[in-house]
Homo-oligomer: A and B are copies of this chain.
Amino acid sequence: MKVQYPNNIKKEFTKLAVSHSNRGMNLETLLNQSNDYYLEKDIALIYKKPTPIGVVDVSYKNHKKIIEKAYFKEQSTLDYNGVYKGRYIDFDAKETLNKTSFPLSNIHPHQIEHIRRCIKHHGFAFLIIRMNGFHYLLTGEDLINYIDNNDRKSIEYKYIQEKGVVIKEGIRPPLDYLKAVDEIFLKGE
C-alpha cells in the first residue's frame, strides 16, 4: 500500500530522512553494513569479533554441543579488527548522549591498554565516537595523549571536534570511515 502524503509533508519527511538517515540507526548495524560493503568491493577485510562468553553448562544432542547456561564477558580488546591496504586496523565504536563531553567510563582499562599496544606495534587503532549527531574518528594516539595529560574523567567535546575527523555518511557505505583512515593515518599515501 502506498501512502499518499500531502505535498508539503512529504517534502519535509524526505528531507529529514536524508539528512538524519543514519543517526537513528544502531551504530553497530551501520558499521557492519559498512564492513560488508568494504568486503564486497574488495576495499578491506574488517570484522566485528564475536562477544566472548563464559560457558557454565552444556548438554549434547545428536553429538552436538548445546550451551545450556552462559554469560557474556567483557571484550578485553576492541570490537573490530582487520586489514586495509596491508595495514592492521583495530577500533571500537562508542556513543554518548552527553553533549559536552565523552565519559571515559565508556572505555575499559583493558581496552586502553590494548590501544597502547596496537600503537606500539604500528597498527592503526582508533575510536568511532557518535556524539551530537556526528560520527568522529579519534585516533588512539589522540585518545592516549588526552588520558595521559588530563585528570578529567571525560573528554571535552571541543577536543573531539578539534582532533577527530567527521566520518562521511551515505547510503553505501553508511559510514565511510576508511576515508577518514586515509586522511589521518595514510595522508593520501
Q: Which residues of A contact B (CB under 8 A)?
A: 39, 42, 44-45, 47, 49-53, 64-72, 77, 81-90, 114, 117-118, 120-123
Contact = CB atoms under 8 A, between A and B. Distances in A.
Contact of A67 (B69, B88, B90, B121): B69
A86 B50 contact: no
A89 B84 CA distance: 12
Given A50-B50, A77-B47, A121 B70 contact: no
* Prevailing SS type, chain A contact patch: strand
Given A66-B69, A67-B67, A69-B68, A84 B121 contact: yes
A77 B52 CA distance: 16
Copies in the complex: 2
A84 B87 CA distance: 10
Nearest to A75: B50
A120 B83 CA distance: 10
A44 B86 contact: no
A81 B84 contact: no
14 contacts: A39-B117, A45-B117, A53-B53, A53-B67, A65-B71, A66-B70, A68-B69, A83-B90, A83-B121, A83-B123, A86-B87, A86-B88, A87-B88, A88-B89
Contact of A50 (B52, B71, B117): B52
Contacts of A86: 87-88, 121-123
Contacts of A89: 88
